[in-house]
């Protein structure tokens, strides 16, 4: 399923997938390195709940105007 979503997003002229993760390992590191405008996170990753991962990304990686 992940490969299909990546292919659909990369087919868009104004979108580019910068990374994929199958678990919560290093998700915060990847987000801080790539500064994504959109993040898709599964509900249950191997090491962390998706909602917890999103909250960490919001707190640590995003700057709001």
pTM, two decimals, is 0.66
pLDDT of residue 26: 81
pLDDT grade for 64, boundaries at 50, 70 and 90:
low
Question: pLDDT, tens digit, for every residue of 7-45?
Answer: 999 999 999 998 887 777 788 888 888 888 888 888 878
Quote the CA–CA distance of 7 and 49 in Å, as a whole number.
25
Report CA torsion sign: 56, 26, 36, 54. Answer: negative
């Amino acid at each position: 399923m992940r490969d299909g979503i990546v292919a659909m997003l990369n087919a868009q002229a104004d979108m580019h997938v910068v990374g994929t993760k199958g678990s919560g390992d290093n998700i915060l590191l990847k987000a801080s390195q790539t500064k994504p405008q959109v993040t898709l996170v599964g509900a249950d990753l191997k090491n962390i709940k998706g909602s917890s991962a999103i909250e960490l990304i919001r707190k640590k990686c995003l700057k709001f105007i």
